[in-house]
Amino acid sequence: MSFAFLRRPTEPTPAPPRERLHEVAGRTLPLRIVENGRARRLTLRIDAGGRGLRVTVPPGIPAREVDRFLERHRGWLEQRLAKVPDRPKVRPGVRVPLRGVAHTIVHEPALRGTVEIGCDERGPTLVVHGDRRHLPRRLADFLKREAKRDIEALVDKHTAAVGRRAKAIRFKDTSSRWGSCTSDGSLSFSWRIMMAPAPVIDYLVAHEVAHLREMNHGPRFWKLCRQLCPRTDEAKAWLKRNGNALQAIDFD
Spell out the domain ranges in the chain. 18-82, 95-248
How far apart are the C-alpha atoms of 94 and 103, rounded to whole Å?
Answer: 8
Q: What is the pLDDT of residues 78-115, one digit of tens each?
A: 888 887 766 678 999 999 999 999 999 999 987 777 89
How far apart are the C-alpha atoms of 134 and 151, rounded to whole Å?
Answer: 25
Answering whether pTM is above 0.75, one says: no
Q: What is the pLDDT of residues 111-150, one digit of tens each?
A: 777 899 999 988 999 999 999 999 999 999 999 999 999 9
How far apart are the C-alpha atoms of 85 and 100, rounded to whole Å?
Answer: 18
Quick one: angle between helices 232-248 and 198-210, nearest 10? 110
What is the homologous superfamily of the domain 95-248 according to CATH?
Metalloproteases ("zincins"), catalytic domain (3.30.2010.10)
Q: What angle do CA 125, 128, 133 make, to 5 degrees?
A: 135
Label the pairing between strands 53-57 and 43-46.
antiparallel
HEC sequence for 183-217: CCCEEEEEHHHHHCCHHHHHHHHHHHHHCCCCCCC
How far apart are the C-alpha atoms of 126 and 96, rounded to whole Å?
Answer: 9
